[in-house]
Amino acid sequence: MAEIKDPENTLILETTKGQVVIQLLPQVAPEHVARIKELAREKAYDGVVFHRVIDGFMAQTGDVQFGKQGSETFNPGRAGMGGSSKPDLKAEFSATSHIRGTCSMARSQNPNSANSQFFICFADAPWLNKQYSVWGQVISGMEFVDQIKRGEPVKDPDSIVSARIAADV
């Protein structure tokens, strides 16, 4: 595991493939980082599936409404269409590039529609730059992200077992 320099701004994702450590970037997207931390601390991401995984591009997860296994609202057919009960976030686009391991918020056509869903880039995706809010970078465990089952939608998807802020564990 990577050395954790700032536990308050480090997200530890236990996935069905292994542990992924993400350095949060509050200096780049303070409101998006605050939302990720809030949802992690509420355990909202626990059990959420990777519903859209495109080889050579990215793995998307974070639908706490329809993508959370074991919840009353879990619906594999609708995973990816929901968010959280919190209000959508105003875009925090930056000059931070979408490279391998970048964590960025998913959204609809509306730039100010990010809520709880996010994706992790498998490879550089420069066409996303300045159009999606980057909030983190994988510092350990990309080999596990690489193993996440592919599909749109994914059959029998991998999931986040738990999402915790390092300062809390």
Does a structural domain hold residue 64? yes
The whole-number pLDDT of residue 1 equals 63
Which pTM was predicted?
0.98
Does a structural domain hold residue 71? yes
Does a structural domain hold residue 153? yes
Does a structural domain hold residue 1? no
Does a structural domain hold residue 2? no
Residues 96, 164, 66, CA angle at the centre, nearest 5°?
85
Cβ atoms within 10 Å of 149's Cβ, excluding its own:
16
Helix (H, G, I), strand (E, B) or coil at 35: helix
Scanning the chain, the segments in alpha helix (DSSP H) are: 30-41, 142-145
Give residue 134's domain range.
7-165
Q: Which two tokens stand for residue 25?
A: 């970037």
The whole-number pLDDT of residue 2 equals 74
Does a structural domain hold residue 91? yes
Q: Which residues of 38-66 are buried (b: 16+ CB within 10 A; e: fewer)?
A: ebbeeebbbbbbbbbbeeeebbbbbbbbb
Q: What is the CATH number of the domain that holds 147?
A: 2.40.100.10
Cβ atoms within 10 Å of 76's Cβ, excluding its own:
16
Number of domains in the chain: 1
160-165: strand order across its sheet: 52-54, 58-61, 118-121, 102-105, 134-140, 19-24, 10-15, 160-165
Residue-wise pLDDT tens for the chain (169 aa)?
678 999 999 999 999 999 999 999 999 999 999 999 999 999 999 999 999 999 999 999 999 999 999 999 999 999 999 999 999 999 999 999 999 999 999 999 999 999 999 999 999 999 999 999 999 999 999 999 999 999 999 999 999 999 999 999 9
Does a structural domain hold residue 46? yes
Query: Which residues 6+ apart lie within 8 Å of 66 measured at CB?
Result: 73, 74, 75, 78, 79, 80, 81, 82
The whole-number pLDDT of residue 95 equals 97
Residue 167: phi and psi, rounded to 5, are -65, -20
